[in-house]
Amino acid sequence: MSALGMAAALSGCGSSGGASQDVTLKLVAADYGDSKANSSQNYWDKLVKEYEEKHPGIKIDVSVYSWNDVDAKVKKMVADGHAPDMAQIGAYADYAAKNQLYKVDELLSIPVQADFVSRLAEAGEVERVQYGMPFASSTRLLFYNKKLFADAGLTPPQSWSDLAAAAKVLKSRGVKIPYALPLGHEEAQAETMMWLLSGGGGYVDGSGSYGLDSEQNVDTFDWLKNELVAKGLTGPTAPGKLNRADAFAAFTRGDVGMLNGHPSLMQAAARKGVKFGMVPMPGINGKSKATMGVADWMMAFKQNGHAEQVGDFLDFVYDKKNVLEFSHTYDLLPVTAGASEAMAADKNDKRLDPFLKELSNAELYPVAKTSWAQVSADIKQQIGKAVSPNASPTAILGQLQRSAAAAENSE
């Protein structure tokens, strides 16, 4: 499947047969870097240069924007009638629902399309047709401060009761934030989903409809409120006011005993000399049955009609070498099976093994729903209230469920 040289023989859509015309393709992409030095623009510039040298008739014009701006930029371009040929952003479903995107099998060669990690490829489908191509992925693990745990004689938690007990000990020893619970506006939907999954629930029920106020979800937030927040085990900042970036920064200062994190936290902690361990998210009575996975998406718009050229370029983008380079640069997980296997076999990538192992068991956001963007925004704004002293988790989750159901019914 990784023999991309076979692409032209196996698929006309992704072949280079129509790629000899003089064409400029516009790509809008998100920035995964945190400075000019490691901006994603550098990655794309190098990739494009290599591609253009082999395809003199095609130019790739790449514009990279921060995650704060990129989705809105693409939305405006499309609304103004100037859709890019490709966009690498956070969600595809709205555009797919409006019939603005190519189907993946209209673009990619058969080997490249078949090489996507199946769990991620399925998440790119609307009504069993794939429109979203996974571009980057990540899973989450529970990070813990090894020194704080060793000094307190603690072992990594495997269940909620273990986590609460460890947090209580850490608090008694003066740890500022025994467990960091970031339910602030930045990424509350992620922390929420991790806890819901660990409690046997999630954002959707077995039929695929929203089920935010399920019994399992209410029980999870009752436990968080009563066993962690009310007992002062989540630090001085109210969870609804604590953002992920601030929680990560506190961990790298040595102020946090435990928190959920993704691979980029490893580098940040290591730079500050914080010794850490990582374990799967604890569940009610042991390891959580599922962990949260996140994927960002590549999509191709039909407006400019460059299916063959776009497909040829994307075949190159998803070459194993290029997928691995991007993953290594930004501490993310590969979205193709070939690159995942190569990463798992490389001793230099051992630090990412625990995250890779969780990917096959990961649950992703319900990104195929066009309503998800609004539901996610509502969760970010409201969920922190569910663990505040005078609030009712049942009431908050019920309010979110009613809003989600209304948004889903309007799709």
Q: What is the DSSP letter of 18?
A: T
CATH number at residue 35: 3.40.190.10
Residues 359 and 273: their CA atoms lie apart, in Å, by 28
- Write down the pLDDT at residue 411: 67
List pLDDT tens digits, range 14-52: 433 444 458 999 999 999 987 888 899 999 999 999 999
Which residues neighbour 390 within 8 Å (Cβ) at sequence distance 6 or greater? none
List pLDDT tens digits, range 165-179: 999 999 999 999 999
- Is the Cα torsion angle 245, 371, 291, 345 positive or negative in sign? negative
145 & 269 share domain:
yes
- Asked if residue 338 is part of any domain, the answer here is yes
Higher pLDDT residue, 319 or 186?
319
35 & 132 share domain:
yes
List pLDDT tens digits, range 72-119: 999 999 999 999 999 999 999 999 999 999 999 999 999 999 999 998
Locus of tokens 């998100």: 30
What is the overall mean pLDDT for the chain?
A: 92
Global pTM value: 0.85
Stretch 114-134: mean pLDDT: 94
CA dihedral angle for residue 380, residue 381, residue 384, residue 388, rounded to 10 degrees: -170
79 & 222 share domain:
no
- Asked if residue 31 is part of any domain, the answer here is yes
150 & 267 share domain:
yes
- Asked if residue 8 is part of any domain, the answer here is no
162 & 310 share domain:
no
Domain span at residue 354 reads 23-136+294-360
Does residue 29 contact residue 44 with C-beta atoms inside 8 Å?
yes
226 & 177 share domain:
yes
204 & 344 share domain:
no
- Asked if residue 13 is part of any domain, the answer here is no
254 & 302 share domain:
no
List pLDDT tens digits, range 239-248: 999 999 999 9
- Asked if residue 253 is part of any domain, the answer here is yes
Q: What is the DSSP letter of 37?
A: G
166 & 213 share domain:
yes
233 & 255 share domain:
yes
198 & 327 share domain:
no
- Asked if residue 127 is part of any domain, the answer here is yes
Looking at this protein, which amino acid is placed at residue 260? N
Does residue 343 contact residue 331 with C-beta atoms inside 8 Å?
no
Angle at 83 between CA 82 and CA 87, to 5 degrees: 145
183 & 121 share domain:
no
How many domains, in total, are found in the chain?
A: 2
Task: Quote the strand ranges of 66-190, DSSP E.
Answer: 86-89, 125-126, 129-130, 133-139, 141-145, 177-179
